[in-house]
């Protein structure tokens, strides 16, 4: 029997990347999205997981710091990899240590540009506009103890036009994310 890899998606928002991952791996023979975890009780990702028949759990911010709660949940679902998809809390050290090189994040810019604390979602795209950057894009990287600093796995770029608003950029970036995140995760798991 081929060994299965179980992924937990961590997401805080609408979950369009989570949905792209759930779609891509829906009938995969070796990789399964086994669990969705969110720190936002009303996050749109919960309904998306439900639609795919994937269990989801809400964990409040303070409980994320409790290694016992999170580790027990991940081990109950036999999770091998954690994939962050718009997850806005810093990953605690106990998880980084337990899942070394098995936590992957996607960032909506070309790191190291436009990264770090407070740089998420629309804030990133507004900063790109304010800086009059000519290019932006996506970065898929391993997660370490600091925001957006783990080693880079994949990047894809997109031009920014002078007339682009933050919303225009968000739209282009999300398209890249949906196209590249699932196959990159597949490649990382198969390394």
Would you count residue 182 as binding ligand GAR (CB under 6 A)?
Answer: no
Distance CA 119, CA 136 (A): 14
Distance CA 167, CA 171 (A): 6
Q: Among residues 98 and 119, whose Cβ is nearest to ligand GAR?
A: 119
Is 141 marked active-site? no
Residue nearest to ligand GAR (CB): 86
Distance CA 13, CA 40 (A): 7
Q: Select from 191, 178, 190 the least CA-distant residue to 14.
A: 178
Would you count residue 152 as binding ligand GAR (CB under 6 A)?
Answer: no
Would you count residue 136 as binding ligand GAR (CB under 6 A)?
Answer: no
Q: Which stretch binds ligand GAR (CB under 6 A): 91-99, 101-109, 155-163, 182-190?
A: 101-109
Q: Is the peptide bond before 112 cis (omega within 30 degrees of 0)?
A: yes
Q: Which stretch binds ligand GAR (CB under 6 A): 21-29, 71-79, 159-167, 172-180?
A: 172-180
Distance CA 27, CA 188 (A): 18
- C-beta of 120: minimal distance to ligand GAR in Å? 3
Q: Select from 23, 31, 24 the least CA-distant residue to 2.
A: 31
Would you count residue 107 as binding ligand GAR (CB under 6 A)?
Answer: yes
Q: Hey, which residues are catalytic here?
A: 107
Binding residues vs ligand GAR (CB under 6 A):
11, 13-18, 85-86, 106-108, 120-121, 124, 173-174, 177
């Amino acid at each position: 029997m081929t060994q299965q890899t179980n992924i937990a998606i961590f997401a805080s928002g609408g979950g369009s990347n989570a949905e792209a991952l759930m779609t891509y791996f829906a009938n995969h023979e070796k990789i399964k999205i086994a669990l969705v975890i969110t720190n936002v009780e009303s996050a749109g990702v919960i309904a998306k997981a439900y639609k795919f028949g994937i269990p989801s759990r809400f964990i409040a911010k303070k409980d994320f710091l409790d290694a016992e709660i999170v580790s027990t949940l991940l081990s109950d679902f036999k999770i091998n990899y954690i994939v962050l998809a718009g997850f806005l809390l810093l990953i605690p050290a106990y998880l980084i240590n337990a899942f070394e090189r098995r936590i992957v994040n996607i960032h909506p810019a070309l790191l190291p540009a436009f990264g770090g604390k407070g740089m998420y979602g629309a804030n990133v795209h507004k900063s790109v506009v304010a800086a009059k950057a000519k290019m932006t894009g996506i970065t898929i990287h391993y997660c370490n103890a600091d925001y957006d600093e783990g080693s880079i796995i994949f990047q894809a770029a997109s031009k920014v036009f002078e007339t682009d608003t933050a919303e225009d950029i968000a739209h282009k970036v999300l398209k890249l994310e949906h196209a590249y995140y699932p196959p990159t995760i597949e490649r990382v798991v198969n390394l």
